[in-house]
Amino acid sequence: MNNSRAIGVFDSGLGGLTVAKEIIKLLPYEDIVYFGDTGRVPYGTKSPETIKKYTRQDESFLLSKNVKLIVAACGTVSSVAGDVSKKLPVPFIEVISHSVIDAVSATKNKKIGILATAATIKSGAHKKKILELLPEAEVTEVSGTLLVPLVEEGFTDKDDTMVSEAVKRYTDVFIKNGVDTVILGCTHFPVLSDAIAKVLGENVTLINMGVSTARAVKKLIEDNGIGNGNGGSHKFYVSDKGASFSKTASVLLGEKIDELCVETVDLS
């Protein structure tokens, strides 16, 4: 049965475009509706109550677009507002659980690293889920907050000295602790995969939350028979279109986004 309704994806900003990118790659015939709450980013500095309020508004917007499932491409929402999303009338997928499953499956020495933003690290969501699946795991958590502006300014080349030094500053502890698997726990970080891999070496497996989530979306669609074999269109909405929007969005999605194809909406 063909279900032509779109997949809804939302994030507190534009980082979730890396998740959308992987869904598009794996499911090229699915329509995507993406919403980035760029006017209120970041969510990580807000109270849990505010994050839940914003999450409900984001999800309501996507539901108004008649989506068939919703993906929270945001680590903060995934770790703080999961209970809100359990009440949705459509299936819901977050980015933490599936990346943890992949990390636990990948590790050989049970030493797992998490590279994320301060808010996500503080939530403890990744570590908690890792220890539920692998109680004997040794988890090293690192807040790589300054890597986010590097990505947004387009500094992503693995041979760029500034990028290499920043990555080394944050990931040296993974090497010191013998970590063999690292979850890229912020949606911006997959863009730095080559730079991170260059520093950590080929014996360390990097887990891209976008890839893990895209696989989960594919499985959910197949299990429920709600695939679309005739789509492939992508619509983007934001709550604010800043001066560097096109530049940042194109870096994260991996392809140029025409500003004329992006609509600004006021959720309030």
Q: Which CATH class is domain 96-209?
A: alpha beta
pLDDT score, position 76: 83
- Token digits for 78? 């995934």
CA angle 177, 45, 189 (to 5 degrees): 45
pLDDT score, position 138: 98
pLDDT score, position 179: 98
Residue extents of the structural domains in the chain? 7-94+211-264, 96-209
Q: Do domains 7-94+211-264 and 96-209 have the same CATH topology?
A: yes
- Whether the CB-CB separation of 184 and 206 falls below 8 Å is answered with yes
74 catalytic, yes or no?
yes
- Whether the CB-CB separation of 4 and 231 falls below 8 Å is answered with yes
261 catalytic, yes or no?
no
pLDDT score, position 131: 98
Distances (CA, A) of 245 to 39, 167, 199, 207, 241: 12, 24, 29, 27, 6
pLDDT score, position 26: 96
Fold for the domain defined by 7-94+211-264? Rossmann fold (3.40.50)
In this prediction, the residues of the chain whose per-residue pLDDT falls under 70 are 1-2, 243-244, 260
Q: What are 61's strand-pairing partners?
A: none
**Active-site pick, 74, 121, 166, 226:** 74
pLDDT score, position 109: 98
Strands (E) in the chain, as ranges, are 7-11, 32-36, 69-72, 92-94, 111-116, 138-143, 181-184, 205-208, 234-238, 262-264
First to last CA, the chain: 37
**Active-site pick, 100, 151, 186, 196:** 186
pLDDT score, position 260: 65
Residue 30 falls in which region: left (phi positive, over 0), alpha (psi -120 to 50) or beta: beta
